[in-house]
Amino acid sequence: MSDQTKGAANAKAEFITPPKTLQNKVDKGGPGAVDLGALAKAEAVIDNLAGDYLDWVSEDFIRLEVAFVALKSGAEDDKKNIDAMFSIVHDMKGQGGSFGFPLMTQICDLLSGILENGVTFGPRDHRAMRVYIDAMRVVITHKLKGDGGKEGSQLLMGLQLMRQKG
Amino acid sequence: MSDYNLSRLNFLIVDDNKHMLALVKGILHALGVKNVLEAVDGADAFKELRHFPADVIISDWNMSPLDGMDFVRMVRTGSDSPNPFVPIIMLTGYTEMNRVTEARDSGVHEFLAKPISAKKLYGRIKSIIEHPRSFVRVGLYFGPDRRRKANPNYNGSERRKEGSDKMVALPGSEAAKAAEAAPAPAPAAEPAAAADDGGEEGGMSQDDINALLDM
């Protein structure tokens, strides 16, 4: 433990009451309060945007492909392309499940894990990335919503096996 | 079911992804929120905070040039922070345990893992409303008290009971007046989570995240 960390651990805590809380600005119940109807309306917002999601994700695939091709070419700094890919895949991971495609979230999680932990990648890694990206495309083109049924579970199982083999 | 009326709350949403901004904004409006401001990264959000009286901030983590974690640190500990006490919900695709603990130790109130749902988001807002927390300045940390619950079975040392722990309200604030009239809350008997919790591979579910933060 460093001296600085030791000092922090031994420091005395000072408790401070915040000058205001949200309770001062919200009422419970009455017109306009959140109820089951409001929650349903809010979930409907997500459903309504889900149609647009398929367009957005197409743009994400294009950007991902550009970064992936650049990474494979080795013409530029690997880190720049890895960071670009990670950022795109990370966004896709968050959006997939939000718009009814949790399989996208799962596959993006596997791919982003590789991108986040790697510094340099060789041809073998590039092939693995290709498989993940293609699997993501399958989820979208086959519209594998929810768990994707049998096709979805086979896809995920195949990817997990590939990951275990390394 | 009838819950809270959120119409008077000001929300600042910080995300570099325009689709997520639209999604979160749409959910908030459907929940009755009227005043929502958007920012595209931490620096933009910090600038907006100078003139926007945010009651709640919902921030992504992975952004550039200033990411969500640096933004939280600036809000909490920056000498020029306009609102160091503002509740912050970290809304992120990161779900690994080390990320959750890092966010907590930077001073976020709540951690919400993507994918997002209206119910999950409202649940975190409701938690902030119903469980206001004292702020703590200890060592390098300044932020909401990370000890959310007292653990009656805890037998370890109680650092906070030793020495000169004190409860401070800002002079002249309503809280200061209330503090004079009410007894200070008893400190919880649980050790503060170590700032250097080991990371773990693999993501956590929202339930697991909530359980971790409730420890």
Give the CATH number, domain containing residue A114. 1.20.120.160
- Checking if the pLDDT of B25 tops 80, the result is yes
The pLDDT of residue A152: 92
pLDDT band for position B204 (cuts 50, 70, 90): confident
Is the CB of residue B192 less than 8 Å from the CB of residue B138? yes
Number of domains in chain A: 1
DSSP-derived secondary structure letter, B84: T
Q: What average pLDDT does range A22-36 have in this prediction?
A: 92
Query: What distance in Å separates the CA atoms of residue A114 and residue B172, rounded to the nearest whole number?
Result: 53
- Checking if the pLDDT of A17 tops 70, the result is yes
In a domain, A4, yes or no: no
Q: Which helix (H) or strand (E) holds A154?
A: helix A149-165
Chain A residues with beta carbon closer than 8 angstroms to that of B1: 35-36
pLDDT, tens digit (0-9, with 9 covering 90-100), for B161-189: 554 444 444 444 444 444 444 444 433 33
pLDDT band for position A5 (cuts 50, 70, 90): low
In a domain, A119, yes or no: yes
Query: What distance in Å separates the CA atoms of residue A5 and residue A2, rounded to the nearest whole number?
Result: 5
- For tokens 């109807």, the residue is A37
pLDDT, tens digit (0-9, with 9 covering 90-100), for A77-120: 888 899 999 999 999 999 999 999 999 999 999 999 889 887 77
- Higher model confidence: residue B72 or residue B97? B72
- Closest-CA distance of chain A to residue B50, Å: 17
In a domain, A99, yes or no: yes
pLDDT band for position A7 (cuts 50, 70, 90): low
Considering the segment(s) B10-137 as one domain, its CATH architecture is: 3-Layer(aba) Sandwich (3.40)
In a domain, A97, yes or no: yes
The pLDDT of residue B178: 44
Domain that holds residue A150: 33-165
The pLDDT of residue A162: 85
In a domain, A151, yes or no: yes
Is the CB of residue B58 less than 8 Å from the CB of residue B14? yes
- Checking if the pLDDT of B74 tops 60, the result is yes
Q: Is A15 on the interface with B (CB under 8 A)?
A: yes
pLDDT, tens digit (0-9, with 9 covering 90-100), for B114-134: 889 999 999 999 999 999 999
The pLDDT of residue B159: 57
- Checking if the pLDDT of B68 tops 90, the result is yes
- Higher model confidence: residue B42 or residue B2? B42
CA distance to B37, B38, B127, B207, per residue, from A93 (Å): 24, 21, 26, 19
**What is the average pLDDT score of chain A?**
89
Q: Beta strand B135-138 with B141-144: parallel, antiparallel or unpaired?
A: antiparallel
In a domain, A17, yes or no: no
Query: What distance in Å separates the CA atoms of residue A9 and residue B207, rounded to the nearest whole number?
Result: 29
Tally the C-alpha atoms within 13 A of residue A12's C-alpha that lie toward its C-beta: 8
φ and ψ of A61, to 5 deg: -60, -40
CA B97 to chain centre: 16
pLDDT band for position A163 (cuts 50, 70, 90): confident
Residues 95-114 of A with CB under 8 A from B: 95-99, 102, 105, 108-109, 112-113
Hey, where are the domains in chain B? 10-137
The pLDDT of residue A30: 87
The answer, yes or no, to whether ipTM is higher than 0.90 is no
Q: Which of B212, B12, B17 has its CA nearest to residue B111?
A: B212
Contact B62 A105 (CB under 8 A): no
Which of A19, A39, A108 minimises the CB distance to B170? A19
In a domain, A13, yes or no: no
In a domain, A18, yes or no: no
